[in-house]
Amino acid sequence: MTAPSAADRAFHAAFAALVDGRIEAGARALETLAADGHVEAAHELARLHLYRMHPTPDAEAGRRLLDDAADTDHPGARYTRALVTAGDADGGWAEDLQAAARAGHPLAWRSLAMLWAAQPEASAQSAATRWFALGAGAGDPVAMALWRRRAPTAVPATPTPAAVAATLAEAPPLDVAHATRALPPLRDDEDWRLQEAAFGPEDAAYLQALATPLLEPSQAWDPASGGTLRVPIRTSHDAPIDPLMEDVAMRLLQRRLCGLAGCPAINAEPMVVLRYRSGQEYRLHRDLLPPSTLADPVQGRGGQRVATVLAYLNAVDEGGETDFPRRDVRVAPRAGAALVFRNLRPDGSPDEDSLHAGLPVRRGEKWIATLWIRGGAVRGF
Ligand code: PD2
Ligand code: ZN
């Protein structure tokens, strides 16, 4: 084993500073290293900018650094570029994703598995199963959960470089057009719409697998204290998906669902997956943010929640409809359907008619994923 170079030692020190919460010092050290051509430092610096963890985040600078790092074929940077550009029409992200997979990136394996899982051909389905098996073998719990649905009793694959190369070689071409298909955005004269077939059964299983270990009792904004609390109006469990946990499959899904509201995915708050059990509900409310939140430089970024998208992950045995009493609309959950509605009127004022509730589940469970969409950008990509 060769001794680490001085630059590598400086990189590890910079990384340790970031982990330690000394962001300013870590970022400065990464900047020096990146300027000297340290690819790993450029990649981490790009991530700091893109995830808005840099003291002065600059998404454009992040993208430039990322391009430089990815162009050297650094697998992590190619994966991050796939993540940041997923869904772009040129399809370069699919090449980045496959390069990262070839180099052994487990999140790339999981995302590729999801892409092939959405293609009907038998060869795509077998590629999906093999990628999930490799991810499971590498210890990815989400890949494991999805693979178990396909192969309940089999033993996970050993993720050797040869197995990875063979799995890539045998897979059919990726259907990038299907993965990036756009759904029709709300028209100006529509307040809401239920979009059928917005996503597939594997997407639903994937969101449940991702969220299950993260579920906590839901909270809601409490006007009395001005904070978020566990309050009886919302009795579900939920899991906000931190952007750092998002993978390419998630980004493609977010992009498609945001498109229903006619908004770019950078306007979306982190996705929240909710689970309601029998008797649980979300009582009448509007999704609008209070003035105190909007005035906060961090929480208020992006402005008001202009629209909401609810993705129904399953059909509920009984109950659990989303109810809009002032619009006389009641939507029964249907797997794969997404409900999009506006929270503001065309003049930008709060739409009182957006009042809605998740009615109590009477039998079975209800799983949904929520995207609250702001009027402007909340995130770096
Ligand atoms: O679960 C629902 O149907 C529901 C109803 C109202 C979800 C939300 N609001 C929400 O997540 O904002
Ligand atoms: Zn709501």
Write out pLDDT tens, residues 131-172: 999 999 999 999 999 999 999 999 888 999 999 999 999 999
* Lowest mean pLDDT across 154-158, 180-184, 310-314, 343-347: 154-158
Is the separation of the CB atoms in 102 and 110 below 8 Å?
no
**Cβ(331) to ligand 1 under 6 A?**
no
Question: Which distant-in-sequence residues (6+ apart) come within 8 Å of 183 by Cβ?
Answer: 195, 198, 256, 257, 259, 260, 338
**Cβ(368) to ligand 1 under 6 A?**
yes
**Cβ(132) to ligand 1 under 6 A?**
no
**Which residue among 312, 362, 368 is best mutated to probe the pocket of ligand 1, counting the most ligand atoms within 8 A of its Cβ?**
368
**Cβ(356) to ligand 1 under 6 A?**
yes
Q: Residue 247: its pLDDT value, please?
A: 98
The gap between the terminal CA atoms of the chain, to the nearest Å, is: 38
Q: What is the mean pLDDT of the chain?
A: 95
Cα 380 to averaged position of ligand 1 atoms, centre (Å): 26
Residue 361, helix vs strand vs coil: strand
Q: Residue 277: its pLDDT value, please?
A: 98
Cα 340 from Cα 310, distance rounded (Å): 6
Cα 143 from Cα 252, distance rounded (Å): 17
Write out pLDDT tens, residues 240-262: 999 999 999 999 999 999 999 99
Is the separation of the CB atoms in 334 and 315 below 8 Å?
yes
Q: Whose CA is nearest to atom 12 of ligand 1?
A: 287
Tell me what percent of the residues of the chain surpass a pLDDT of 70. Answer: 99
Q: Residue 284: its pLDDT value, please?
A: 96
**Which residue among 221, 235, 280, 282 is best mutated to probe the pocket of ligand 1, counting the most ligand atoms within 8 A of its Cβ?**
282
Q: Whose CA is nearest to atom 11 of ligand 1?
A: 370
**Which residue among 257, 370, 372 is best mutated to probe the pocket of ligand 1, counting the most ligand atoms within 8 A of its Cβ?**
370
Tell me the pairing of strands 227-229 and 272-276: unpaired
Q: How confident is the model at residue 1 (pLDDT cuts 50, 70, 90)?
A: low
Write out pLDDT tens, residues 40-53: 999 999 999 999 99
Cα R_g (the chain), whole angstroms: 22
**Cβ(342) to ligand 1 under 6 A?**
no
**Cβ(365) to ligand 1 under 6 A?**
no
Work out the widest C-alpha separation in the chain, in whole angstroms: 70
Question: Which distant-in-sequence residues (6+ apart) come within 8 Å of 39 by Cβ?
Answer: 68, 69, 72, 74, 77
Q: How confident is the model at residue 78 (pLDDT cuts 50, 70, 90)?
A: very high
Which atom belonging to ligand 1 lies closest to the Cα atom of 372?
12
> What predicted TM-score, i.e. pTM, was given to this entire model?
0.95
Amino acid at 152: P
Cα 243 from Cα 366, distance rounded (Å): 24
Is the separation of the CB atoms in 76 and 11 below 8 Å?
no
Cα 57 from Cα 232, distance rounded (Å): 38
Q: Residue 219: its pLDDT value, please?
A: 85
Q: Both tokens of residue 354?
A: 């957006």
pLDDT over 80 at 88, yes or no:
yes
**Cβ(358) to ligand 1 under 6 A?**
yes
Q: Residue 28: its pLDDT value, please?
A: 98
pLDDT over 90 at 113, yes or no:
yes
pLDDT over 90 at 227, yes or no:
no
Cα 86 from Cα 98, distance rounded (Å): 12
Q: Residue 334: its pLDDT value, please?
A: 98
Q: Residue 309: its pLDDT value, please?
A: 98
| Beta strand residue intervals within the chain, DSSP E | 192-195, 216-217, 220-222, 227-229, 237-240, 272-276, 282-285, 305-312, 318-319, 322-324, 329-331, 338-342, 356-358, 361-363, 366-374
Q: Residue 98: its pLDDT value, please?
A: 97
> Where does residue 3 rank: exposed (0-12), middle (13-18), buried (19+ CB within 10 A)?
exposed
**Measuring CA to CA, which residue among 305, 306, 297, 375 is closest to residue 57?**
297
Ligand nearest to the CA of 366: 1
Write out pLDDT tens, residues 323-348: 999 999 999 999 999 999 999 999 99
Q: Residue 209: its pLDDT value, please?
A: 98
Position with higher pLDDT, 222 vs 12 = 12
Cα 30 from Cα 53, distance rounded (Å): 13
CA distances from 78 to 72, 107, 381 (A): 9, 12, 15
Cα 257 to averaged position of ligand 2 atoms, centre (Å): 16
pLDDT over 80 at 224, yes or no:
no
**Cβ(287) to ligand 1 under 6 A?**
yes
pLDDT over 80 at 226, yes or no:
no
Which atom belonging to ligand 1 lies closest to the Cα atom of 359?
3
Cα 145 from Cα 152, distance rounded (Å): 10
Cα 165 to averaged position of ligand 1 atoms, centre (Å): 44
Tell me the pairing of strands 356-358 and 282-285: antiparallel
pLDDT over 80 at 229, yes or no:
no
Cα 346 to averaged position of ligand 1 atoms, centre (Å): 22
**Measuring CA to CA, which residue among 216, 140, 208 is closest to residue 367?**
208
Q: Whose CA is nearest to atom 5 of ligand 1?
A: 358
pLDDT over 90 at 182, yes or no:
yes
Which atom belonging to ligand 1 lies closest to the Cα atom of 333?
3
Is the separation of the CB atoms in 218 and 234 below 8 Å?
yes
Cα 315 to averaged position of ligand 2 atoms, centre (Å): 19
Cα 265 from Cα 302, distance rounded (Å): 12
Cα 240 to averaged position of ligand 2 atoms, centre (Å): 15
**Cβ(322) to ligand 1 under 6 A?**
yes
